[in-house]
Amino acid sequence: MKKTIRNIWLLNFSTFFFFLGISLTNPIVSPFAITLGANPFLVGLIAGVTSFLSLISKPIGGFIGDKGYRLELMMAGNVISLISGILYVVSAHISSISLFAFARALHGFSMGLFFPSSLSTAVDLAPVGRIGETLGWRGTMFSLGNIIGPALGGYLSDYLGFAGAFSFVSIFSTVGFLFVVPVWREVGRIRGEDGRSGEVHYRALLKASFVFTSLALLFFSASYSGVLTYLPALYKFLGLPQRVFGLYMMVVGATSFITRLVGGKTADRVGPVPVSSVGILVVIVGYTLLNFMIFPPDSYLSAIFIGAGFGLAVPAMQMMALAPLPGRIRAMGSSVYTMFFDLGMLGGQVTLGYVADVGGYKAVFPILPFLAGVALISVLVPKLKGEGSARAS
């Protein structure tokens, strides 16, 4: 048991540093693209290319992961992220928007390899009866990255320039790689809890709990893309420094960090559907507040609600979608599930980019509560069908 907990935490730290490198770029991607001459629609396309490549690479990652190479994929994701960081720096030095877009695409490819294996391995290694808790702890590391990363990215870009900030993507990816190595040496291949070979049946992915939770994630991430992409663009357009949005995301990450473990443990006890529903409702409150208080420091109140809601909803939704799946298809299940996150981010960034192009950046934010409302309806459907109440076993 001690070795299992040790390995879980080594992978949690790898997850922290991998997503620290990603979240570091969140407050500076849109402003950097604007400095290279991008219009609002092109800003959305450049932001969305990461999700598009992640979407493409996730089925590859899921298939390879179900062959037992989940830890290798986590290492590969960190290595490719490291290369992306180098290309970010080069694009900043030569002011190349095309190279920057390519680096964003490569970073998305790395996410498609890393994320599903990271998520499915957390479920695979979780002690009996503690799946929600384990996902909650993994989520806290993700949230901690979102606390530190955006604020760090904003301050680094203000004081070291864009190239200086982007260089830390490679540094953090290197550290993330090193945390996976000892687990890989000890555990080796991971096939899921049964460890058997033979035919893999992906029909289990058609369960209502999986399908409708995935749809909920699509609309949930589409709503979040509006904040992640167009709030920093609005602040840049108004002449505010990058650290303003970095602080906003730090508040989101901090409140999410506080509620992630609560969401996971509560989902273990009462089931994931009630926890997911409450979390999404809290996010809707946050989006509504943002429309009335869009400028700092008032806007930070909305960040509290958005972060707290995400912290409750995300581990519960992950548990609802993945825990009922057979272990031997969980990597592909994680891939397909997180593909809906990428579809939502991509669709949200591009569609809301068109809205911003026509009506200005402020026109994006009234749409966000309605997108999250569709997510709420979707997450309730499995409960109506008699599914979605599975607890950790």
pLDDT tens track for 141-182? 877 876 788 778 888 888 899 999 999 999 999 999 999 999
Q: For the segment 308-328, what is each residue's pLDDT rounded down to a tens digit?
A: 999 899 889 988 888 888 877
* CB 227 within 8 Å of CB 368: yes
pLDDT reading at 386 higher than 70: no
* Residue whose C-alpha is closest to residue 17's, from 131, 170, 233: 170
* Per-residue pLDDT tens digits for 178-233: 999 998 988 776 655 544 444 556 777 888 889 999 999 999 999 999 998 899 88
Given this model, what pLDDT does residue 355 score?
92
For the stretch 32-66, pLDDT in tens is 888 888 877 788 788 778 878 888 898 888 888 88
Average pLDDT over residues 22-37: 86
Taking the C-alpha atoms of residue 291 and residue 171, their distance in angstroms, rounded to an integer, is 37
Domains of the chain: 2-188+205-384 (1.20.1250.20)
Alpha-carbon distance of 131 to 391, in angstroms, equals: 8
Q: Give the mean pLDDT of 333-343.
A: 86
Residue 197 pLDDT: 44
Judged against a pLDDT cut of 90, whether residue 123 lies above it is answered with no
Locate tokens 């694009």: which residue? 91
Dig out the tokens for 279 from the structure: 């979390």
Percent with pLDDT over 70 in the chain: 93
